[in-house]
């Protein structure tokens, strides 16, 4: 099967440095949402389109940050899948704890660099507007909104919980003191707790974008936790089988 090992529900769109970039079907929801909040404001249609493209590009550059650092450790990236709350790079092999720390940090670092670059440019061009003015999208504050978008992307991804990059950083640090699957379970539980808190806050403040994000965080964390659980179960089964084999071997020479 051509799609073997690739994420279901996604379509291949293009390749960057040999890595296929695929859109998950839920990504369409984000585009519809951004169009919905973008239209009717004071910005032109071109600005709305540019803003969406710039954020898409920023998420992609974030993922390529992971891809490049992973490649430095000799880990090829199988695919990059774009979800509404960000992308996911799927490496060919799981990185070791020490490698994972740097691969995870590379993504948010790209967003922080983009934000810093645009901020520096705006400052030099004297195009600075106040943060409250950014709440109303106009053509003039487009660049700064892209900078803020990147800051939010960077900060959100640094939250120390799965499936965010910060969760991977936390896991690679925990893995120095504890078995790896235990570190994964702790980080996945943190992710689920954070998602529940975020979801409740979103419901109470009727911010449905937050509820939507919380849902994705919860599902992502649950998936990672389940994968760690599977690995643990597999190890227990292997151990059991090894014991049975040893017992069977012991039984042969014994004639008692
Ligand atoms: Zn990332």
Does a cis peptide bond (omega within 30 degrees of 0) precede residue 163?
yes
Q: Per-block average pLDDT, block size 10, for the chain (256 residues)? A: 57 81 79 69 75 88 94 92 80 87 95 94 77 72 88 90 87 88 87 91 88 85 74 68 68 52
Any idea where the domains of the chain sit in the sequence?
8-158, 160-237
- Residues with C-beta atoms within 5 A of ion ligand 1: 107, 165
Q: SS3 for 94?
A: coil
pTM beyond cutoff 0.85: no
Question: Beta-carbon neighbour count of residue 188 at 10 Å?
Answer: 25
Residue 138 makes CB contacts below 8 A (sequence gap 6+) with: 41, 42, 43, 47
| Residue 160 alpha carbon to ligand 1 centre in Å | 12
HSE toward the beta carbon, residue 124, CA cutoff 13 A: 6
Conformational region of residue 124, where left means phi above 0, alpha means psi within -120 to 50, and beta covers everything else: alpha
Active site residues: 63
| Residue 91 alpha carbon to ligand 1 centre in Å | 12
Query: Could you give the maximum distance between any two Cα atoms of the chain, in Å?
Result: 92
| Residue 99 alpha carbon to ligand 1 centre in Å | 14
| Residue 89 alpha carbon to ligand 1 centre in Å | 8
């Amino acid at each position: 099967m051509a799609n073997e090992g690739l994420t279901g529900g996604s379509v291949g769109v293009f390749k960057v440095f040999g890595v296929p970039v695929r859109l998950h079907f839920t990504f369409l929801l984000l585009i519809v949402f951004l169009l919905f909040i973008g239209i009717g404001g004071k910005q032109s249609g071109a600005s709305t389109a540019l803003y969406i493209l710039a954020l898409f590009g920023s998420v992609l550059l974030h993922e390529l940050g992971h891809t490049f650092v992973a490649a430095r450790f000799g880990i090829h990236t199988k695919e990059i899948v774009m979800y509404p709350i960000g992308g996911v790079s799927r490496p060919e092999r799981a990185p070791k704890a020490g490698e994972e720390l740097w691969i995870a940090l590379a993504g948010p670092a790209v967003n922080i660099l983009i934000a810093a670059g645009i901020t520096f440019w705006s400052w030099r061009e004297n195009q600075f507007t106040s943060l409250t003015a950014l709440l109303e999208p106009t053509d003039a504050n487009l660049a700064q909104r892209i900078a803020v978008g990147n800051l939010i992307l960077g900060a959100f991804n640094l939250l120390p919980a799965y499936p965010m990059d910060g969760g991977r950083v936390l896991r690679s640090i925990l893995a120095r003191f504890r078995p790896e699957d235990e570190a994964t379970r702790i980080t996945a539980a943190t992710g689920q707790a954070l998602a529940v808190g975020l979801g409740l806050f979103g419901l109470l403040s009727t911010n449905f974008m937050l509820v939507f994000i919380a849902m994705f965080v919860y599902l992502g964390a649950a998936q990672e936790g389940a994968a760690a659980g599977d690995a643990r179960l597999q190890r227990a089964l292997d151990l059991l089988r090894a014991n049975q084999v040893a017992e069977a071997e012991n039984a042969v020479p014994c004639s008692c």
